[in-house]
Structure 1
Amino acid sequence: MTYDGASDAEEIARAVKTFDAINALRRATEEDAGEGEDARRARKRAAALERAAERAKRAKAKRQGEGFDGNKNVKSTGAYVTGLPSDATEEELGEAFKKCGVVKLDAKTGRARVKVYRDADGKVKGDGLVVFLKAPSVDLAIALLDQTELRLGDATTRMTVTAAKFEAKARGDDEGGGAKVAAKASGGGARMTKADRKRAAALLKRQEAEALGWAGFDDDVDAKKLIVVLRRMFTLEEMYADANLRKELEEDVMEEAQRTCGPVMSVKTYTTSQDGTMTIRFKSLEAVEACVKAWNGRWFDGRQIEASMWDGKSKFVSQRDESEAAQRARLDAYAAELGGGSDAEDAEDDDDDVDDDDEHSDDEQ
């Protein structure tokens, strides 16, 4: 954050103007105290101005307590590092800190927000900044990396890690240190345009989804490798004959997988799959391997299950795979849920109606 003297001057000028107006109204109110309705209106105006001034004062105090980028800085997501060697690089620093959490990406460049500070000649000053996606990663970085060596076995690379504090430019000149430069590296400096803010929001949303959505934690595991495919878990006829089968299967599979394999994120049933396919999404590769080992070749309801890791390409939903018998069973089950009969029953009813008509015709003759 850079100190903007002009902005403070404008704030002071507005405050002075507001209080002058309040005092003028007070004087007018005192002079016109005996004028009845006009005096009451003046007092109301003065009270309204006082309330407006108080709101402005509170808003200014709130802004002064905000972070460098205009957002309330409840907890920093930046880790400030000192003790870096003279040949340290952003890549090396980022590699060391990524074990503590997902490193945030820059909205304009798409690169990780890792900074090694350099002087005007390009020489490393010895400090740097790593901006994480989530604030708890900073606490973890301090716990794991503070007073440790960037390069194992090299005591000259011992780092000090603290939560980054973004302070005003008044701290000093360009050699005054990382805090001022850190503000620029972490989103301060030039004001962002509307397009920049929109792009940054979209990037942050995408990064959170990619980093935290699949596996539930921020690591480098390929999400496709965390899914197990189970085949021959049901037949289409069974699925469409029992409206509760899908729910029961998913509950049973979830419970069994959690108990015997490891933490499960979700279970999904592909009700139109000819192979009776279900998928289980786990949190770890260890759980995936345990599931494949335990479930592949296992017998279930008279069928031998096939369990394998998802190849990342196969799709299991296809309405064209549905047989004519399964389609009829599904439609009949749906009709039963609505309280009606099946197509076959409707046909029998139609035949009965025809017979009744014939009987009436015979009677009339």
Structure 2
Amino acid sequence: MAAAEEDFEFQLQQEEIQRHHQEHGDPFTYTDPDDGTVYEWDQDKLAWFPKITDDFIAAYQANYGVAESTQQQTASTTQQQQTQQQQQQQKKAKKDLKPGEKRKANDPEWFDVDEVKNTNVYVSGLPTDITDDEFKDLMQKCGIIMEDMETGQPKFKLYRDQNGQLKGDGRCCYLKRESVDLALQILDNYEFRSHTIHVEPAKFQLKGAYNPALKKKKKKQKKQKNMQERLLDWRPERKEPLRPKHERVMIIRNMFHPKDFEEDPLELNEISDDLRSECEKFGIVKKVLIFDRHPDGVASVAYKEAEMADAAVAALNGRWFGGRQLNVALWDGVTDYQIEETDREREERLKKWEEFLDLGADIRKGDAKKDDATETTSRTEKASSSTAGESTSDGGKTEG
């Protein structure tokens, strides 16, 4: 029954459409008498659809709101039109130039950076006595602040007037675009030290004429990627050494004389071991070097931290070692205490080393002969005592 009623209503609607076509002569449009909506006939789909007019769009937006995609398309279309107009104006300006005439620089004006790439926010309404640390802590609530690849410092700025006084506004550059959206939601109209601050995406202004010399060089993408990975790393950040590395090295003078090693080359290892064991009382020792050819008797000790070297210098400077008073200080990072030997000195050193080895071999041979003689003597004494015992035993038997 219901299906029959629907078919009947559809038949009436089709008759009304046919009558309208006969009266107005347009077979592809139809106006609904109830609400005045104009329909168009789609030949491909064989169906009636509302005709898109300005009145229809206005009514749709009033009832359902504007879709986000429509806003984006409208903004994109407007931006493309503005870009095309600027390009046409530039081409026209180039054509109007006379031969040899230079194009005038454009007046400074505000320009927008691509929203996807713009990670800068502009903050106003700040107290005029705010410090850099306070501003940094405030902006870090919404994300990680970008670091300058040259200085390593966070990229934010508090603006000042001509007299150097703070103006109450500043700019902050985040590492990620998501931090900008978060700052707009959290920090805009935020109460900070009895001041209501305002946050908005930063805009930039061209200043003066274009100067190629002032243009920043492009940074290497690999360096920028490593910086971003370090900032996003979950591991705790390692503190960078504030003092130069050469201040971890301690230099000791007047510790020996080079001729001391000519008599006994093994003394070099003994001094190195003694020095390491003594210096380990002040911290972790990474390396010990003995410059055996230096006339001042120089040795160096490298610590893990500069503060360890400071403690060792304070304790060892002026102390006595092997009858010599030590002169201890931190390395200046420049002086090279290594002295290269000549070919003649090298031959003499090798000759003395061979003599030392031969002397050691002779000593070992002499010790071996002494051991053999001692063993022979002990065997002779044992044999004599054994013979004497047998004689005494025989004499006792005879008397019995």
Shorter-chain TM-score tier: 0.3 to 0.5
TM-score with structure 2 setting the length = 0.34
Q: Which has the larger radius of gyration?
A: 2
Greater relative contact order, per chain length (Cα 8 Å cut-off, separation 6+): 1
TM-score with structure 1 setting the length = 0.36
